[in-house]
Amino acid sequence: MKVMILAAGRGERLRPLTDSIPKALVEVRGQSLLERHLDKIRDAGISDVVINLGWKGEKIRDRLGSGSRFGLNIEFSDESDNVLETGGGVFKALHLLGDDAFLVVNADIYSDMPIPQINLPESSLGHLVLVPSPAYRDGGDFELVDGKIQNGESPILTFSGVAQYRAEIFEGCEQGRFSIVPLLRKFADAGRLSGSLYEGFWADIGTPERLAALK
């Protein structure tokens, strides 16, 4: 299995910290978010990683190189100044991700969650790891019922930013900037997304306050 890390974002709400570095290289407890993910991927026995690049992407490329010092093989999908969001970024990198189901991890999360071992059902196009919605959010993203992701009127679970997908989930998409969320909504309604709940520590490093809380 291959893993894609979404690392193209600038992190506007973390400025001025992210004026000079991409959000993925923000450090928490002496280690960048991105390198923490790489360590966990290696420890899970996975060797092939794809990372998309956007804002200050050359700093990520220079820091990581081929990935050999992490015991990994890293390939880059460069979006330059045209950051393609979650859907467009993965779609652009499909040719690097191969034919098997692949894992996608948002770089800007900090968690003690291990890299999940997912047995994706044949009928599922994807599997989302959900977490209890944090206090700073008014609600959640999805519901989880009998192992299936569902849309709901008042969901209480938040998408963790960790998921497994089959490439077929992007059938009919076109190159360009788009969010993956409408696809997830569509296939949740169709009963084509499985899911699981992680109840350990998880944080979205989206604001200076959330970052400071982890120092």
| pLDDT tens-digit profile, the chain (215 residues) | 999 999 998 877 778 778 888 999 999 988 999 999 999 999 999 999 999 999 899 999 999 999 999 999 999 999 988 899 999 999 999 999 999 999 999 999 999 999 999 999 999 999 999 999 988 888 899 999 999 999 988 899 999 999 999 999 999 999 999 999 999 999 999 999 999 999 999 999 878 888 878 87
CATH number at residue 21: 3.90.550.10
Domain count across the chain: 1
Domain coverage including residue 7: 2-212
pTM above 0.75, yes or no: yes
- Cβ-in-10-Å burial (0-12, 13-18, 19+) of 29 comes to exposed
Taking the C-alpha atoms of residue 111 and residue 201, their distance in angstroms, rounded to an integer, is 5
Q: Token digits for 20?
A: 């000079």
Strands 31-32 and 27-28, by their bridges, are antiparallel
